[in-house]
Structure 1
């Protein structure tokens, strides 16, 4: 892929055609910038911008206007991707609550900060600098009854959430069957029960 991109850029800028050997030599000798984000145009982010409140967006943006989202699995790849896309593409979303499982030696806020330090969020940090105020973590665990939520957090979610994305699961193929059922089956049941209680 890098070779194809290099060939395309070389065709646009060079007066002569480079041979594959010359292109390879350029890449190996660092005469060509090899950062994959640069190659794919991911470092050419837009400037920070405030979208006026009265500006009408796409049907998807309008659906999320003023909505509060509850997301499980937000520390995994798919959850992070979904969260980044919603925060970047839906400027008038009200809030996102992440269900985060406490881990030994790490508080949930530390885990959330680690999520946002991922390079996946570079573009979001550049284009929507205020995104962080729209995300809060609640402690919980999909393998526990009632998602391991305390009463206050459960009440908060029931009263405020409009949209639920359940992305938490164990993806280990060698997971012990009891744990797999707790997370992948009982966790889904607990999410459905919580969603039924929401307004």
Structure 2
């Protein structure tokens, strides 16, 4: 299993009264893919730039797709640009892939018909591994989970996140999530103001 796939599994396991926003999850998944591709030696980071390496198969369909999507011309792509480009609709792609692999199912006998379409992880070794990464406080995974809204911010006494590459990716994910939330908040304010204008007529 990969960091991105584990992140998608724990996101689907979140209780319905604490839903995860697709936008934040997609950005965090794109960040997780960067870590997975670094581990697979498919890319290296030079500052905040993604430099692709040899295009060897990773054995994971979505990661191979991500490898093929890397910009291979100078000045290459910044991590933040990658998050926005690769992250578009990425949470849905992972949900579909997990379902295709039989790692999720639609629960039966729900009392609330509005939740009938909700997909949840099945009881599997993959699910247990993903949940263990979350509960163990693994620093990078915890930071990505916090950015996605799966859990609260990592504790201040969490182990130091070492390495320039780790810091660069997590900073880019945090900035992108903040930007997304600011845009969403601005739209909500504009929509509320528009509604108030119409109420005056």
TM bracket (short chain): under 0.3
Give the structure with the higher percent helix: 2
**Greater relative contact order structure (CA < 8 Å, 6+ sep):** 2
TM value normalised by structure 2: 0.27
TM value normalised by structure 1: 0.27
